[in-house]
Chains A and B, each alone.
Chain A
């Protein structure tokens, strides 16, 4: 899928976001696969609730961090969409 500001990103039905107390970081778990997330990646995925658009997610993060992160959000989610871990709701 081509990700735009209007896309409503949602995690693959088989994927689960979790926090790993051993590594002290967020992880994305799915059948026979694991992605270790950095803080900004986890912040993005926590906002992917199947209702918010990419633009809305970027706006929330902009308010939180004080800079325009739209390009980063699109790039990050596009990478996960390429691996089918994020899909268009």
Chain B
């Protein structure tokens, strides 16, 4: 099979993080600090990624700034010609580190916000964090980075989407990513507390569309739809093993950030294999390339060229079979699993936080 050059590498430098968001995209079973790749390992991975054709790099985590070598890795990425995004909570992004990162050639900083309301934001993050985020935003703006804000949306903040957009606008973001929660890992464990109601989703969709038009030319507003409320699944990263790869803190390399949940696949590590081999030869990356693996109704469906049967990780998480149709699809024989989950929106808000369990009152 002919393989594309991948365009995007996400380097999850660490799973360590000062925040405890209940929708964290890290796996439930996180890597310890002593399992993390070394600076030299990461430099080798970035060089191999560029040789493979990668153009976009995300330095992510956990909180990547927990590591002291982010500046060195950003400089290495810059020498390779990669367009690099630092994906950060903002915690740890002091003025001095921001200056060093700018000197290193880092181009783009994405800071997460949890909510426009301070109290709810810190309840979701499980930590006092808003003041440090504000300081980080100021440094990013003053130093002239390309600047994005990312907000994960769920039942407790979706009604404030309008205020969240205005906040991002007032903070001077070039881009705002509004991403409805995707239910993998921690978010799946917290689905009952995070799931919005249909009324919330309908109202929020309208506010987002209006803001996209109103901010056009000033702030690019991107809106990731809540896929449980859609008719058809997302074309996950443009197809398995086609454009995207993610290296975990311990070196295991995935075609999708939720892939560790597919327990029927084994993921090779950059400690033992080159990124080239993993991309082109490894069984895990080959598993769902093309269309041969598809079952009905995907196999005979004209939409298979559009959405590739949806997300393999979601299919596995909900049905136990990673080759089945993503149950989000209304044509899936297991679509009832998703419809039933929508009833969760009527339940209480009790979060299972990363690292700790806490309870919170209803918003």
Q: Give A contacts to B, CB under 8 Å.
A: 1, 13-14, 16, 18, 20, 22-23, 27, 29-34, 84, 87
Query: When A and B form their complex, what is the total count of cross-chain residue pairs whose Cβ atoms lie within 8 Å?
Result: 50
Residues 16-55 of chain B, each 1 if its beta carbon lies under 8 Å from chain A, else 0: 0000000000000000000000000000000000111101
Contact of A13 among B5, B58, B85, B174 (CB under 8 A): B174
> B175 contacts the other chain (Cβ, under 8 Å)?
yes
Q: Is the CB of A32 within 8 A of B55?
A: no
Q: Is the CB of A31 within 8 A of B53?
A: no
In the bound complex, how far is the Cα of B194 from the Cα of A35, in angstroms? Answer: 35
Q: Is the CB of A84 within 8 A of B217?
A: yes
Chain B residues near A14 (CB-CB < 8 A): 107-108, 146, 174-175
In the bound complex, how far is the Cα of B216 from the Cα of A84, in angstroms? Answer: 8
Kindly provide the distance from the CB of A79 to the nearest chain B CB, expressed in whole angstroms. 16
In the bound complex, how far is the Cα of B54 from the Cα of A27, in angstroms? Answer: 12
Most chain A CB within a 10 A radius of its CB, from B81, B85, B108, B148 = B81
Chain B residues near A27 (CB-CB < 8 A): 55
In the bound complex, how far is the Cα of B220 from the Cα of A30, in angstroms? Answer: 12
In the bound complex, how far is the Cα of B257 from the Cα of A75, in angstroms? Answer: 37
Of the four ranges (under 10, 10 to 19, 20 to 34, 35 or more), the interface on chain B belongs to: 20 to 34
Give me 18 A-to-B residue pairs in the complex whose CB atoms sit less than 8 angstroms apart, sorted by A's number.
Answer: A13-B146, A14-B107, A14-B174, A16-B107, A20-B53, A22-B52, A22-B53, A23-B5, A29-B55, A29-B56, A29-B83, A30-B83, A30-B146, A32-B56, A34-B7, A34-B55, A84-B217, A87-B217
Q: Which residue of chain B has its CB nearest to the CB of A19?
A: B81
Chain B residues near A87 (CB-CB < 8 A): 217
In the bound complex, how far is the Cα of B5 from the Cα of A34, in angstroms? Answer: 12
Kindly provide the distance from the CB of A57 to the nearest chain B CB, expressed in whole angstroms. 21
Given contacts A31-B146, A84-B220, contact A23 B107 (CB under 8 A): no
Contact of A31 among B81, B175, B217 (CB under 8 A): B175
Chain A residues near B53 (CB-CB < 8 A): 20, 22-23
Residues 211-224 of chain B, each 1 if its beta carbon lies under 8 Å from chain A, else 0: 00000110010000
Given contacts A27-B55, A31-B85, contact A22 B50 (CB under 8 A): yes
| Residues of chain B from 323 to 352 with CB closer than 8 A to chain A in the complex | none
In the bound complex, how far is the Cα of B53 from the Cα of A23, in angstroms? Answer: 7
In the bound complex, how far is the Cα of B218 from the Cα of A1, in angstroms? Answer: 13
Q: Which residue of chain B has its CB nearest to the CB of A14?
A: B146
Chain B residues near A84 (CB-CB < 8 A): 216-217, 220
| Residues of chain B from 1 to 16 with CB closer than 8 A to chain A in the complex | 5, 7-8
In the bound complex, how far is the Cα of B216 from the Cα of A22, in angstroms? Answer: 34
Q: Which residue of chain A has its CB nearest to the CB of B55?
A: A34
In the bound complex, how far is the Cα of B51 from the Cα of A22, in angstroms? Answer: 7
What 11 new A-B contacts, CB under 8 Å, besides A31-B110, A32-B8? A13-B146, A22-B51, A22-B53, A27-B55, A30-B83, A31-B85, A31-B175, A33-B56, A34-B7, A34-B55, A84-B220
Most chain B CB within a 10 A radius of its CB, from A29, A33, A84 = A29
User: What are the nearest 9 A-B pairs in CB distance?
Assistant: A29-B83, A14-B146, A22-B53, A31-B108, A34-B7, A34-B55, A14-B174, A31-B146, A31-B148
Q: Which residue of chain A has its CB nearest to the CB of B81?
A: A18
Chain B residues near A23 (CB-CB < 8 A): 5, 53
Kindly provide the distance from the CB of B251 to the nearest chain A CB, expressed in whole angstroms. 23
Residues 160-184 of chain B, each 1 if its beta carbon lies under 8 Å from chain A, else 0: 0000000000000011000000000
Kindly provide the distance from the CB of B146 to the nearest chain A CB, expressed in whole angstroms. 4
Q: Is the CB of B51 within 8 A of A16?
A: no
Kindly provide the distance from the CB of A60 to the nearest chain B CB, expressed in whole angstroms. 27
In the bound complex, how far is the Cα of B5 from the Cα of A16, in angstroms? Answer: 20
In the bound complex, how far is the Cα of B75 from the Cα of A36, in angstroms? Answer: 24
Chain A residues near B110 (CB-CB < 8 A): 31
| Residues of chain B from 200 to 241 with CB closer than 8 A to chain A in the complex | 216-217, 220
